[in-house]
Structure 1
Amino acid sequence: MQGFSELRLGRLDEVKVSVVLHPGATLLSLTAGTLGGRPHGVPRHWQKAVMSAAPRNAAEVLRPLFAPSFSVIPDCVSPAVSMSEPDADTHLERLADLSPDTLLAELETEFQPAVPAQWRPVVERPGAWIHAYSHLMRVLWQEFRPVWRRADSLLKRERERIGAATVTDRLETVMGNLSPRFHFSGTTLGLPDQQAKRFDLAGRRLALVPIVSGNGASIFAFDDPGMVWIGYPLPALGVLWDDGDQKDAPPDSLALTLGQARAAILRAAGASLTMSEVASLLRSTPAAATYHCAQLEAAGLLDRERHGRHVRVRATAKGEALVALLA
């Protein structure tokens, strides 16, 4: 049964956040969602392209990484190996140059008291597996590189969005909207994980890594002593899913941050609105309108007041500032 690992962030105003545009995280997610059977939401035509490019032995090479009911991937073969130098060539070169002794030592440490069955063939021939895995990753990257390049403007815009939210004390809104697969409550972020554990950020840097693969992308590493990194779906990823070029129209930054419904409410709530007017605006039920308004109120972006028989909502100064910032 799917569980959740929890990352306790502590005080959000003390969290040191950076955005890392790392193609290695996208490559691993793409592989997991296409050849590894994981629910990363990779669109069908990207899946077909990757599967067509993959070597015949891809399933055998990847079996240790994506065994059912198991989610641990050694850091030395994950994007963690090059997170401080986020470019594809460095990542692929580090994989190719990985020492068999390093891999074996990490497997022994990671999987005490015994290496699980799916990794035993790797233990028997670590050098051969490293060669096959690094070759597979290079082949898949050559196939997917044009998509990563098309995503360049979206990736840069996402870095600007996170940066703006961080300096304006809106990290809570960002963390609550990273992915529909993540859970955020208070100062704790939950991420889907078959080996559910609890971790503390404990003053480490938090690296957010937007992933260009699918809308269910989820990759993370919490055990580095200096940094925690979380891979999440790049907002507005769907504009790349058509087989043609990226659309020219820029994405709605407010909607990417809050969701379409809440962005519409906050924009309209510069003037006072009744709840029935909110429901009409959203073309939704009163219950749905009330739910979205309650979430905006909890984030300090909306005020609700009762006037006789009606409840009216209006954007707070914080809400109006967010609309202005992301206009």
Structure 2
Amino acid sequence: MDRPLAPARLRIGLADAHRWPLRVAIAPLASLIALLADAYHPRGHLPGPWRDAIRQMLPARAREAVAPVVDPRTPAVPNCLIPMPEAHLVPLADDLDRIVTAGRDVLLDELELELGPQVPGHWQPVARQPLRWVGMYAAALQRAGDAVTPLWTRAEALLEREVERVGAAAARGALAELLAGVHPEARVEDGALVLPDYHDTLDLHVGSAGLVLIPMLTGTHRIIVQHRGDELTHIAYPLPGRNRLLHVEPDLARPTPDALEALVGPARARVLRHLDRPTTAGDVADALLAVPSAATRHVTVLEEAGLVARERQGRNVVVRRTVRGTQLLALYDG
């Protein structure tokens, strides 16, 4: 479950902390969720200029799309809407692809798991039209991601320093002290890290896969925790030193369009739309008005994302849109 933390209790055993595989992931998605939550439901820690700028960068339709996820009444968000990274560097585009291709059934199943069979009123638009809503949600995150790119770029040195800090703490056997600093209400007692939580009292442990730490750019003490059953897998926490960035006057980038092109690029969007039926690689190049080598590069990227497939039929290579590609197209064009 992914959940921003606030008082109750979440306890993480530290007895084997020195054996944990530990990684730091640099991924902007968690920061975007936290910044949007801070902007629309402020706790008083996000500077006013940043709060105003973030509100202005999303039109009403985009704000509606992110509203259920950042609403403080939401105790837990489906994992498929805030996928947590496993790699060290995860571009926003990769996480958005994971969101839009998770599928209708996965989203509805996780909604029921996290929120119960009676979906709360502010999640009803999601339950009624899950594919359409996910497309709007991903496009809103893309728009927000492009807009705060200058902030993320300025944070590069701080992020690198945080990776070094975590590595040094692990090497010195000071992981407990490090984790106790991720939230002002965190504390170590009786061999466990105790964190505030929304509504559950949970006892967690870190399994053989280890723990992934994700530093976030956020104006509050928000934390996002993911666990599978009683196994803790991820903690996203405020990046130390972030306030020096947030108190700089915002320099927002121009948002990208609320469209498929914003996610996969104009040329690859044209390829997906062209593939209503399987066609040859040469026909794809003709549709793009591109040389075959350029068309091949675009098809290769789409194939690696699982959105198209290629197969040889006689002397021709035939390209077809996969089910995943059709679902993605339906999110934006349906």
* TM-score for both structures, normalised by structure 2: 0.66
SS of the aligned residue for 2:247 comes to coil
By how many angstroms is 1:190 displaced? 2.9
Indicate the residue corresponding to 2:115 in structure 1: 111
Whether contact under 8 Å (1:32, 1:66) holds in the other structure is yes
Whether contact under 8 Å (1:208, 1:230) holds in the other structure is yes
By how many angstroms is 1:185 displaced? 2.5
SS of the aligned residue for 1:193 comes to coil
1:219 equivalenced with 2:224 (yes/no): yes
Q: Which of these residues, 174, 179, 187, is aligned with residue 178 of structure 2?
A: 174
1:197 equivalenced with 2:201 (yes/no): yes
Indicate the residue corresponding to 1:297 in structure 2: none
Indicate the residue corresponding to 1:34 in structure 2: 39
Residue 70 to residue 41, structure 1, CA distance change in 2 (3 Å): same
In the TM superposition, 1:53-92 aligns within 5 A as: 53-80=57-84, 82-84=85-87, 86-92=90-96
Indicate the residue corresponding to 1:260 in structure 2: none
Residue 56 to residue 83, structure 1, CA distance change in 2 (3 Å): farther
By how many angstroms is 1:14 displaced? 2.3
Q: Distance in 2 between matches of 1:44 and 1:11?
A: 42
Q: Distance in 1 between matches of 2:191 and 2:158?
A: 27
Q: Distance in 1 between matches of 2:230 and 2:139?
A: 30
By how many angstroms is 1:27 displaced? 1.1
By how many angstroms is 1:119 displaced? 2.1
By how many angstroms is 1:83 displaced? 4.1
Indicate the residue corresponding to 1:263 in structure 2: none
May I ask how many residue pairs the two structures share in their alignment? 243
Stretch of structure 1 that moved more, 224-233 or 137-146:
224-233
Give the % identical residues: 28
Indicate the residue corresponding to 1:147 in structure 2: 151
Whether contact under 8 Å (2:204, 2:232) holds in the other structure is no
SS of the aligned residue for 2:70 comes to coil
Q: Which of these residues, 11, 16, 37, is aligned with residue 11 of structure 1?
A: 16
Residue 118 to residue 83, structure 1, CA distance change in 2 (3 Å): farther
Q: Distance in 2 between matches of 1:77 and 1:158?
A: 26
Whether contact under 8 Å (1:209, 1:231) holds in the other structure is yes
Indicate the residue corresponding to 1:50 in structure 2: 54
Q: Distance in 1 between matches of 2:175 and 2:7?
A: 27
Post-superposition CA distance 1:216-255 (Å, at most 9, x none): 231111227876111111111122133269xxxxxxxxxx
Q: Distance in 1 between matches of 2:38 and 2:111?
A: 23
Whether contact under 8 Å (1:12, 1:171) holds in the other structure is yes
Residue 12 to residue 115, structure 1, CA distance change in 2 (3 Å): same
Indicate the residue corresponding to 1:236 in structure 2: 241
Residue 136 to residue 3, structure 1, CA distance change in 2 (3 Å): same
By how many angstroms is 1:202 displaced? 4.3
Indicate the residue corresponding to 1:261 in structure 2: none
Q: Distance in 2 between matches of 1:27 and 1:8?
A: 29
By how many angstroms is 1:50 displaced? 0.8
Structure 2: gaps of 5 or more residues: 1-5, 251-334
Q: Which of these residues, 99, 106, 110, is aligned with residue 102 of structure 1?
A: 106
SS of the aligned residue for 2:10 comes to strand
Whether contact under 8 Å (1:23, 1:88) holds in the other structure is yes
Indicate the residue corresponding to 1:320 in structure 2: none
Indicate the residue corresponding to 1:125 in structure 2: 129
Whether contact under 8 Å (1:206, 1:229) holds in the other structure is yes
SS of the aligned residue for 1:57 comes to helix
Whether contact under 8 Å (2:10, 2:204) holds in the other structure is no
Residue 239 to residue 88, structure 1, CA distance change in 2 (3 Å): same
Q: Which of these residues, 156, 163, 169, is aligned with residue 165 of structure 1?
A: 169
Q: Structure 2: which amino acid aligns with 1:79?
A: P
Q: Distance in 2 between matches of 1:116 and 1:73?
A: 12
By how many angstroms is 1:59 displaced? 4.1
Structure 1: gaps of 5 or more residues: 246-327
What's the C-alpha RMSD, in Å, of the aligned pairs?
2.5
Indicate the residue corresponding to 1:251 in structure 2: none
Q: Structure 1: which amino acid aligns with 2:11?
A: E
In the TM superposition, 1:272-291 aligns within 5 A as: none
Q: Distance in 1 between matches of 2:56 and 2:245?
A: 20
Q: Structure 1: which amino acid aligns with 2:225?
A: F
SS of the aligned residue for 1:65 comes to helix
Whether contact under 8 Å (1:21, 1:209) holds in the other structure is yes
Whether contact under 8 Å (1:158, 1:234) holds in the other structure is yes
